[in-house]
Structure 1
Amino acid sequence: MVNRLEIRYNRAQNEIRRDIMGFTIRQAQPEDCATIGRFIRLIAEYEKMSDEVVWDDATLYDQLFVEHRAEVLLGEEDGQVVGFALYFHNFSTFVGRKGLYLEDLYVLQEKRGRGYGKAFFKRLAEIAVERRCGRMEWVCLNWNAPSIAFYQSLGAEGLTEWTTWRLSEDKIRQLAGL
């Protein structure tokens, strides 16, 4: 006997598959570096932070495909890249295990509402489980109501009691006495 929860789950899975026919997610390769750079600039523009993008193509290539500092998933609709997710591992002293930190997720504006964002999160969750991660974390700008609603729909909780702090490169050098 199949219980109702399983039936609903199966129906939801079928709906997701039907909604995203022709959409695939794959691991980025070195030849995708220009595309990754384009999507980084797109998310920076969306977040009103274009002036903070300071890398050059060689640095991006080196960090992603030589040093392996982060990984990138690309989402394709009928062979055209329509979204990306850039992630890396962090570590939680409380959980005692690595976590998966999502730095950027961006789907082209005209491709939103098709389930692609959820498909990215599903794939990231699969990676987190495969790699025995204790958490998935990311940050979201307070004004980004559509993204906040989306994250809440996934069951994510906003950590409102925490404040993110940052030292820019010049402040790091100043603190280091350089």
Structure 2
Amino acid sequence: MEKQFLIRPATPGDVPELLRLVKALADYEKMSELAVGTAPMLQEALFGAKPCCEALLVERDGRAVGFALYFTTFSTFLCKPGLYLEDLFVEPESRGLGLGKALLVRLASLAVERGCGRFEWRVLDWNEPSIKFYESLGAALMPTWVLVRMDATGFAALARRP
């Protein structure tokens, strides 16, 4: 079967399409109210003076239908970098064609090229189809690890403490 899609690094001109896909992901995850980022913010994060993340787009028929947004982490135990997948999304009408798997394969290859010790991401506990999909690829859930988060208000307050 001939490959009918293209995976490529996002470019500055892709920011509007990438933001459209981010908002579609937020809708899917029932978190639309949390998707408050803007195109200028995403532009700065990906392509500004100090980029803090990278993105891949997957296209079908010249149209972006999915993305993966990722960044470098570091493992103090391994003393090696890691690759952290912040978000992966494929539009519902393009699912089942191997696009999500192809994005993960590309990221795994990138982790190998960069000498990473880990390739990690999170999945919502209610997202059974994704959990099964990730496990089918050899990923393992880490039930003993709990996500800890401090929002901007919290860390600003902490930073002011003596």
TM (norm. structure 1) is: 0.87
Please list every run of at least 4 consecutive aligned residues from structure 1 whose deviation after the TM superposition is greater than 3 angstroms: none
- Structure (1 or 2) with the greater helix fraction: 1
* Long gaps (5+) in structure 1: 1-17
AA matched with 2:8: R
1:88 is aligned to 2:56:
no
Counterparts of 2:32 and 2:158, CA distance in 1:
26
Task: Indicate the SS of the match to 1:137.
Answer: strand
Task: Indicate the SS of the match to 1:95.
Answer: coil
Task: Indicate the SS of the match to 2:25.
Answer: helix
1:41 match? 23
Question: How many pairs align?
Answer: 160
1:26 is aligned to 2:8:
yes
Equivalent position to 1:114, from 90, 97, 120 = 97
2:151 match? 168
Task: Tell me the CA shift for residue 54 of structure 1.
Answer: 2.0
AA matched with 2:46: L
Equivalent position to 2:45, from 60, 63, 83 = 63
TM (norm. structure 2) is: 0.95
Question: What's the % identity of the aligned pairs?
Answer: 48
Instruction: Summarize deviations over 1:129-171 as a string: whole Å, max 9, x none.
Output: 1111111000000000010011001000000011001001111
Counterparts of 2:91 and 2:29, CA distance in 1:
13
AA matched with 2:20: R
1:100 is aligned to 2:79:
no
AA matched with 2:101: K
Counterparts of 2:7 and 2:21, CA distance in 1:
15
CA RMSD of aligned residues (A): 1.2
Task: Indicate the SS of the match to 2:74.
Answer: strand
Instruction: Summarize deviations over 1:57-107 as a string: whole Å, max 9, x none.
Output: 211111111121100000011211111000000001111100000000000
1:51 match? 33
Counterparts of 1:145 and 1:154, CA distance in 2:
14
* Long gaps (5+) in structure 2: none
Task: Tell me the CA shift for residue 21 of structure 1.
Answer: 2.1
Equivalent position to 1:129, from 87, 112, 125 = 112
